[in-house]
Structure 1
Amino acid sequence: MKMLVKIICPIEPFNSMVKDGSAGEVLGRIIEETKPESIHFTEVEGCRGAIMVVEVGGAGDIPAIAEPWFLNFEAICEFRIAMTPDDLMKADLENLGKKWS
């Protein structure tokens, strides 16, 4: 299943890592290990951040995705299940509408 991961990196320790030259190397290792389908870096709530799409087999995969961000950047990670259009079509919305209307 696909998960959207919103990552918020506090100003510190990220600033210190940028200054000592380690931020890029650590980011590269995390991305290489996590193998996201896509990742986009942006501002989130006034901090450095990213939005990442990852494929997970189940909830047990979440720590392997979150811990590198937690441990290296003291980041906040939020996970959301994501559906493709095909996933949504499999939900049988018509019958759900009839059942719950």
Structure 2
Amino acid sequence: MRVLLKASMNTEKANEVIRGGKMPQLMQEALGNLKPEAAYFTLEHGVRTAYLFFDMRDSSQMPPIGEPFFMDLGAEIDLTPVMNADDLQKGLSELR
């Protein structure tokens, strides 16, 4: 299932990681593990926020996906099922 992971990072924890030079490695590991089809980084409500769109095959993946963000960045995480245009068309065709 395609999902959107939104990670809102704790500013102080993220600052520590950046000062320690570990942010590039953490992001590279996260992106390498998730293999997102798209990844965006921005500010939301004044905090560093990542939006990652990826395929989650099973809900048992939730701990290994979320824990690095929780433990290393003090992040708040949302996982939301999402559709692309093809998924939407497929779903709508089943309404007939």
Tell me which interval the TM-score lies in, with the shorter structure as reference length. 0.7 to 0.9
Deviation at 1:94, TM superposition (A): 4.2
Aligned partners of 1:32, 1:39: CA distance in 2, in Å?
Answer: 12
Deviation at 1:89, TM superposition (A): 2.5
1:54 paired residue number = 54
Which of structures 1 and 2 has the bigger CA Rg?
Answer: 1
Is the partner of 1:87 in helix, strand or coil?
Answer: helix
Aligned partners of 2:85, 2:30: CA distance in 1, in Å?
Answer: 29
> What fraction of aligned residue pairs are identical, expressed as a percent?
26
2:61 equivalent to 1:41: no
Which letter maps to 1:87?
Answer: D
2:22 paired residue number = 22
Larger CA deviation: 9-18 vs 26-35: 26-35
After TM superposition, what 4+ stretches of structure 1 lie above 4 angstroms from structure 2?
Answer: none
> What CA RMSD, in Å, does the superposition of the two structures yield over aligned residues?
1.6
2:71 equivalent to 1:71: yes
Deviation at 1:90, TM superposition (A): 2.6
Aligned partners of 1:76, 1:20: CA distance in 2, in Å?
Answer: 21
Deviation at 1:86, TM superposition (A): 2.4
Structure 2 unaligned residues grouped into runs of 5+? none
Which letter maps to 1:24?
Answer: P
Aligned partners of 2:29, 2:71: CA distance in 1, in Å?
Answer: 13
TM-score, with length taken from structure 2: 0.85
Aligned length in residues: 95
